[in-house]
Structure 1
Amino acid sequence: MAQSLTRRQLLTTVGVGVGVLAGLRLWRSGAFSPDKKQRLLHVEGQGPKAWLQQLPRSWAAQSRPTMERLAADLQTHEAGAADLAMVGEAWLPQLGPRLQPFGAPELFEPLLKAARDPAVLGGGAGAPMAFPWAFGSWVMVFRNRPAWVERSRREGWFLLAAEELRDEWILPASPRVVTALVLQSLGHSPSTVDLSLAPGLAARLATVARRARVFDSRHALTRLVNGYGSAAVAPSWAVIPQLLRDQRLVAVRPAASSPLLSWQVLVRPRRAGPIPKPWLQASAKGAT
């Protein structure tokens, strides 16, 4: 016997059916799956294994072969599937439109003094876009140039101005970093505020600029490996994995100069899920 339905019952039945179908689609996509883990993306070789193994069980760390590949994923549909990413501070201007404020201001308090430079925080101290978690020093990297390696050990950052290296250097696209390196080449502190106390700075900066083949903070090592220049200045945390893969490369940090720091940060793509606060709090405590 057929059962008659009132208009209200029909609408209710249809509404429930639509809801069930929508829920089924979400279930099939994994959005409600209890086994779906949040993802942290990092460049292969740059994420400390022991630290990543301490992530909560609801998280999974996934590597990308290069920073270029990781950045590309963050700027495409893949961004919606990542909840945290490890990047170098030089990538913040390019990735900024794809990021959201990091949140959790209490995590930044023990790190603000160490980071100092507001650029490291992305959006500044008011609404930080990036969580500084590791740093390295800027180093010189040479490809198949043993003579230059020996000279760099003797001359340090002064080698940036050497005539023989004209059109060979791949330098950071950061006036702040280049100025600090040149200050060190003149025997001054890289944190010198009153530049009038560094005679010869303007002339040395002009010379170094003429020696550079290109200024590139993000793709320096890729350019170097592919033969676009024979020497580069890059952060040590990015250089070390590359040294293990390419025996043509040699890195030198001038022993006579104090290390000039470069930061690696964690960022949150738009639509990312909640951050693992206890894991990050443990990291911040370890850094203080």
Structure 2
Amino acid sequence: MTSRRQVLQLMGSVVALGTAGGCAPARSGQPQLLNVTGDLPKAWLQELPSPWQPRSLDRPEQVLSLVDSSALQEEALAGAALLALVDGWAQQLDRARLQPLEASALLEQLAPIAQAPSRLFAAEGNVPLAFPWAFGTWLLVLRSRPDLWRQRQRGWSLLLDPSLRGKVVLPSSPRVVIELALRQLGLSSADPQSLTNPALPNQVSQLVDQALALDERDGLNLLLAGEADAAVVPSHRAIPLLKKDPRLSALLPESGSPLWWQLLLRLAPRDSALVDPPLPLEWIRDGLSLPLLDRLLAAGWVPPLPRQQLEPVLRRWPERLRPLLLPSDAVLQRCNSLPMFSPVERSRWQTLWDQALSR
């Protein structure tokens, strides 16, 4: 049987540090909305207007493959397309294959925090290439552990509790794991010097040694089945479970977490003779307002709207869930997005991960 250490080493690739069979394709020439199964709310996807056709794929890698420039893929994406991707995968797209959204009125409705992801974290002044329709944090979810819940002031250090050894599901992205280790040390990746802290490799190693699995996507089944006692998962995966399973409790530590972003991007058509259909702007706008907004929140998806617009809607929610959906301003200021690595940064983080796994 493969050991936990071997599994974690397999996960420690450079590609993983950069992040984190589908429905039948639409008829040729029809504009498509390519998405990953489960990463768009069903209630919203069902309202997609004609002529746009949804096409769901199992994994984000498949979406990126379909956008590839090979001849076989050109036929599959002859028409215009929208892409729905999480920010880590969206940043791996060739920007030359994207075109501006031309949805300035909708972007202006969003909170300032959404500006950087709308540019795919390019410098200010660059044209927006994405519409950030949802965002959130990573949460620490506990199953039937009231003893640990009472110690929640320990924050992310709770993951190092001796009783959790071999009972933790960690994110599949080494980058997110390192971010959590930084917070356990009271450090931040916003300060490049923090990566040279001599305590960091050992901190990462200790955290990894606690893990039963690195798999936030499917690893929640381990938590629900009782094989794991704790899991670190994106907030949109946790919220629906927290509403219906009384065994579960969740916290976002005061030190914050990395942010995830769900983005809509516009792919340029391969055939220049084809005329792009209008963007489904009304459909996008519907996701930002009631009654559909309630259904998005129920599924854990939070549009990055100004706080004064979201708080009245959230008052209808159980008090324990509100700060998990929309953290306080103080906590959000301690959260950070994860822009694409430069080659130097990628090498530095990969070296750190390798050092941690070799201990």
Place the TM-score, normalised by the shorter chain, in its bin. Answer: 0.5 to 0.7
Residues 171, 232 of structure 1: 8 Å contact kept = yes
Contact 2:99 / 2:268 at 8 angstroms: preserved in 1?
A: no
Deviation at 1:155, TM superposition (A): 0.6
Q: 8 Å contact 1:170–1:233 — kept in the other structure?
A: yes
> 3-state DSSP class of the match of 2:232?
strand
| Alignment partner of 1:166 is 2:165 | yes
Alignment of 1:94-243 (within 5 A): 101-104=97-100, 114=114, 121=120, 131-151=131-151, 153-195=152-194, 198-243=197-242
Query: Does the residue aligned with 1:194 lie in a helix, a strand or coil?
Result: helix
Sort the Cα spacing of 1:270 and 1:116 in 2 relative to 1 into closer, same or farther, 3 A.
Answer: closer
Question: Are 1:83 and 1:275, in contact at CA under 8 Å, matched by a contact in 2?
Answer: no
Contact 2:169 / 2:219 at 8 angstroms: preserved in 1?
A: yes
Cα separation, 1, equivalents of 2:277 and 2:216: 30
Query: What's the offset of the Cα at 1:257?
Result: 1.3
Aligned to 1:15: none
Query: Are the aligned partners of 1:91 and 1:218 in contact in 2 as well (CA < 8 Å)?
Result: no
What TM-score does the superposition give when structure 2 sets the normalisation length?
Answer: 0.49
The 5-angstrom pairing of residues 237-256 of structure 1 reads 237-254=236-253, 256=254
Match of 1:10 in 2: none
Distance 2:218 2:284 in 1: 32
Could you tell me how far apart the structure 2 residues matched to 1:264 and 1:128 are? 15
* Equivalent position to 1:47, from 41, 47, 50: 41
Q: Tell me if structure 1 keeps the 8 A contact 2:223–2:229.
A: yes
**Greater fraction strand:** 1
User: What secondary structure is seen at the aligned counterpart in 2 of 1:207?
Assistant: helix
**What RMSD, in angstroms, separates the aligned Cα atoms of the two structures?**
5.0
In structure 2, the CA distance between the partners of 1:223 and 1:88, relative to structure 1 (3 Å rule), is farther
Alignment partner of 2:183: what SS? helix
CA distances 1:221-240 after superposition (whole Å, capped 9, x unpaired) = 24433444221111112221
User: What's the offset of the Cα at 1:141?
Assistant: 1.1
The residue type paired with residue 232 of structure 1 is A
Point out where structure 2 has 5 or more consecutive residues left out of the alignment. 1-25, 67-75, 271-275, 289-303, 307-359
Alignment check: 8 A CA contact 2:33 2:84 kept: no
CA distance in 2, matches of 1:73, 1:199: 39
Runs of 5+ in structure 1 lacking a partner?
1-29
- Contact 2:132/2:264 (<8 A) preserved: yes
Q: TM-score, normalised by structure 1?
A: 0.59
* Paired amino acid for 1:47: P
Q: Which deviations, in whole Å up to 9, do the C-alpha atoms of 1:124-176 show, x marking residues without a partner?
A: 8999997543210111012222222222x221011122222111111112232
Amino acid at match of 2:242: L
* Residue identity in the other structure for 2:213: V
Range moving further from structure 2, 182-191 or 157-166: 182-191
Alpha-carbon offset, residue 258 of structure 1:
3.0
Equivalences for 1:31-46 in 2 at 5 Å?
A: 31=27
SS of the residue 1:176 aligns to: helix
Distance between the aligned counterparts of 1:61 and 1:251, measured in 2? 33
Distance 2:269 2:226 in 1: 39
SS at match of 1:180: helix
Q: Deviations over 1:252-276 (max 9, x none)?
A: 111x213431122336799898572
- 1:266 maps to which of 264, 267, 272: 264
Which residue of structure 1 lines up, in the alignment, with residue 281 of structure 2? 278
Q: How far does residue 201 in structure 1 lie from its aligned partner after superposition?
A: 1.6
Q: Which residue type is aligned with residue 264 of structure 2?
A: L
Counterpart of 2:133, as a letter, is W
* Deviation at residue 210 of structure 1 after TM alignment: 0.9
- Flag the 1:222–1:128 CA change in 2: closer, same or farther, 3 A: farther
Choose between structure 1 and 2: higher helix proportion: 1
Aligned to 2:137, the other structure's residue is in SS state strand
